[in-house]
Amino acid sequence: MSIDESRNPSHLNNATSDIQSYLSVSIQPNIKYRPMPDPLSVYVPLESLTKELINSLVSTIQQSGRTDWHNSRRTLLAFLLAINNKVNEIEKHIDTNNKIDEKIIQHAREVRQWFVEKNLEWKELQTKYENMAKKNNNELAQTLHAETVEPYFELTIEGLHPDVMQSREYMARFRSHGWEPKELKLYWNAQQLEDLCPKHEINSKQTEENDKTKPEVDSSPNDESNDKKSNEVESKQIIVEGEENKQPIVENETNDEKSNETINNQCKAGHEIQDGEIEKLVEKMDITGEHSNHMSDNQCDAISTTEIEIKNEQINDNDLLRHDPSDADAIQALYEYPVSKRNHAGKITYVNKGIEKAVFDAPKDAQLIVLNFANERSPGGGYLRHAWAQEEIILFNSDGYRSLLDLKYGRMGGGYAIPEFGVAYVRDIRFFDKKTGEHRKADMLVSACYCLSGSPQLYDNPTTIEEWITKNVAKFRAFIAAAVANTIGDGSNTYLLLGPIGTGAFGNDVTHIGYVFRDVLRSEMMGSHGPIRNAFENIWFVSTDKWKNELFEKILNEETMVETE
């Protein structure tokens, strides 16, 4: 059925249950969706949590007076409460017969200490969440003249721009039931992705790095025997390990005079930032390898080459799964095609055209992974009001908007918040060529830069250049790691489509963004034996602004990157 056949929102009632398909269905038959989950049941990657992530959650939910049309702060508060619930469960089982890995216990204790340092009152936070959940947040619906605030009301609004209405036709064509839960992934930081990698790969990498810094010594026969035995055992398992971070990914804000200056002023005043200063700061801070190989004690056994069973903590609580079930395919891929073995050309090509056109230039049988320059607090940014930035252009020319709503009403429990240091990952959106009718699939990375132009945003802006660099490196590492983890095969037939994220309406300096890209792409991550860009055969920087690509090309070629054969 065409969307035009049932578009009148006046016929909408409360959702009813479609027992056969296990979906909730509006009176409009083209809008079908799964029942919204309990937001507090969100998956918690406990072993990947960092103090910086906890600081981000706490500082953001304490904000007041900012517009929150998509319940972004409620979503983050639910995650914070879920973290506390998981720590409580671990603490409750420590003295029982249930076996919990010692490192999990130690990290839970560390997380608890971070909470103590924040002086969090959990009863007050729970009450705050319950009050937020009761509130009928209908400001957006009223602004857009929607006649309902039921889930997916965004798809019922009439009279929007033809590009919006056309994209609804794209959604109805292949995604009338939306995305499967396993096709929507949410990563809170790069560490969560590092923790998916096989332990033996990471350990091998760490051993090599340690050997470089230690004097050569003769190994005893017993040591060699033990090492061999250990490697034989590990080779039979998919084992994912992660240590607690020994150094923070993001520095705390300083209290000196400089911290009161906004990054907005520092970045935009060209005379304040001399040529090469960003590069020097990056090198001084040693951000390219500092956190690349921190792994935890997570374990996953390979049942076969086509199936993975994710093991529980064995404490009779499904909330204590060691990995998000949606990452079963990523774990298997990282085991079958370790990042250390993905030594491709990492060829960088600069494509001067719109992303909606560039996707059709790649080989038809290739996997495409497209970076969406997203809004962290609103699905699609200005999509509904026909804003014209890269995210909106992707959504006008694909069925991808439905996937963002599925994130909102599915994984995020009715709110929407892209993690400050994380990324969402969507499998198989379809781009459509309006002229030819051709369509092709692409995976979508949903990541957001800081907005320095003064527009409303969810997270506080960095206040110094150093903080801006560190936090953006954390963001970029997350979306590059997500692309690596979700590559189909070994990356030889994957095209990663990047671009000048954050340099349009968000007002970030193109040069600074270019240096962050350069240093993240040349860093070693996830057990790689060289620049992480070599995990891919092809990387495209796509932009309609030729001068941005020319500047990126100059920056990325400024210092020769180490290539691997």
By CB neighbour count within 10 A (0-12 exposed, 13-18 middle, 19+ buried), where does 487 fall? Answer: buried
Name the one residue in this structure whose structure tokens are 């804000």. 253
Q: What is the pLDDT of residue 142?
A: 84
Six-digit token pair at 193?
Answer: 């992705």
Q: What is the pLDDT of residue 414?
A: 93
Distance CA 286, CA 469 (A): 11
Quick one: pLDDT at residue 25? Answer: 59
Q: What's residue 241's pLDDT?
A: 35
In this predicted structure, what is the pLDDT of residue 200?
Answer: 66
Q: How far apart are the first and last CA of the chain?
A: 53
Output the average pLDDT for the chain: 80
Kindly state the tokens that stand for 156.
């019922």
What global pTM score does this model have? 0.80
Query: Is residue 279 over pLDDT 90?
Result: no
Q: Residue 539 has what pLDDT? A: 98
- The answer regarding whether domain 184-193+330-557 maps to CATH 3.40.220.10 reads yes
Torsion of CA 297, 298, 301, 305, to 10 degrees: -120
Whole-number pLDDT of residue 284 = 55
The full 3-state SS of 24-35, as one line of letters, equals EECCCCCCEECC
Q: How far apart are CA 374 and CA 392, in angstroms?
A: 9
Spell out the alpha helix ranges (H) of 397-523: 400-406, 465-485, 510-521
Q: Is 414 left (phi over 0), alpha (psi -120 to 50) or beta?
A: left
Structure tokens at 533: 């860009």
Instruction: Count CB neighbours of 299 within 10 A.
Output: 16
Q: Are strands 494-498 and 367-373 parallel, antiparallel or unpaired?
A: parallel
357 CA to centre of own chain = 24
Cβ(241)–Cβ(196) under 8 Å?
no
Q: Identify the pLDDT of residue 179.
A: 97
Q: Does residue 145 register a pLDDT over 90?
A: no
pLDDT at position 243:
36
Two tokens at 403?
Answer: 């996937």
- Determine how β-strand 299-302 pairs with β-strand 308-310: antiparallel
Distance, in Å, from the CA atom of 96 to the CA atom of 63, rounded to the nearest integer, reads 39
Neighbours of 143 (CB within 10 A): 11
The stretch 528-551 carries a mean pLDDT of 97
What are the pLDDT digits (tens) for 35-88? 888 999 999 999 999 999 999 999 999 987 777 889 999 999 999 999 999 999
Give me the amino acid identity at 137.
Answer: N
Lowest mean pLDDT among 248-252, 279-283, 339-343, 391-395: 248-252
Q: Which helix (H) or strand (E) holds 442?
A: strand 439-447
State the pLDDT at residue 23. Answer: 64
pLDDT 10s digits, 351-402: 999 999 999 999 999 999 999 999 999 999 999 999 999 999 999 999 999 9
Give the pLDDT confidence of 188-203 residue by residue, as tens digits.
999 999 999 987 666 6
Domain span(s) for CATH 3.40.220.10 in the chain? 184-193+330-557
The partner residues of 495 in beta bridges, in order of sequence, read 368, 538
Phi/psi at 542 (nearest 5 deg)? -110, 125
Q: Residue 359 in contact with residue 440, Cβ under 8 Å? A: yes
Nearest to 253 by CA among 38, 462, 452, 523: 462
pLDDT at 40: 92
Q: Write the single-letter amino acid at 397.
A: N
Q: What digits encode the pLDDT tens for the residues 93-123? A: 876 666 788 889 999 999 999 999 999 999 9
List % helix, strand, coil for the chain (3-state, nearest 5): 45, 10, 45
67 versus 335: the higher-pLDDT residue is 335
> How many CA within 13 A on the CB side of residue 104?
27
- The reported pLDDT for the residue numbered 33 is 86
Q: For residue 311, what are the CA distances in angstroms to 60, 304, 308, 526?
A: 33, 15, 9, 22
Q: Which of 334, 291, 297 is nearest to 483 (CA)?
A: 334
Is 309 within 8 Å of 461 (Cβ atoms)?
no
Segment 441-462 shows an average pLDDT of 95
Q: How confident is the model at residue 258 (pLDDT cuts 50, 70, 90)?
A: very low
pLDDT for position 257: 39
The per-residue pLDDT for range 9-21, each reduced to its tens digit, is: 333 333 333 434 4
* Cβ atoms within 10 Å of 114's Cβ, excluding its own: 18
Residue percentage of the chain with pLDDT more than 70: 71
How much is the pLDDT for 135? 85
pLDDT of 294 reads 38
Going by pLDDT thresholds of 50, 70 and 90, the confidence category of residue 27 is: low
